[in-house]
Amino acid sequence: MKLNELLKHVKPLDILGDTEVEITGVNIDSRRIEKGHLFVAMKGTQVDGHQFISKAIEQGAVAVLCEDMPNRWPQGLLLCRWNPQKMQQVKSLRSFMEIRLAN
């Protein structure tokens, strides 16, 4: 699935990069990222996923959906800033993840 299809529902605040990139999976756990995945960096109550953006990239993430844009990122990586506090965006992302897991 092309990332731009997901972004229609998530409605990011900022986008840096080409949204035509093919996404093969979505994960919030950098340890489970594989080549072609979208990494969702979220601020949790105990851990801030932004700390693991570099690891996700090393694991093969081709795009990152984050609350705060990092200061530096590799050439060719797509970054999208969003507001996960808006429940509809979270529901859209969750629906996308469930569809991908079912197929």
44-97: pLDDT as tens digits = 889 999 999 999 999 999 999 888 888 777 776 777 787 766 556 666 666 666
Q: pTM of the predicted model, to two decimals?
A: 0.81
Tens-place pLDDT, residues 3-52: 888 887 777 888 888 889 998 888 889 999 999 999 988 888 899 999 99
Cβ proximity of 4 and 16 under 8 Å = no
In contact, 40 and 3? CB cutoff 8 Å? no
C-alpha span between 42 and 93 (Å, rounded): 12
Which stretches within the chain are classed as H helix? 3-10, 53-59, 87-102
Distance of CA 41 to the CA centre of its chain: 7
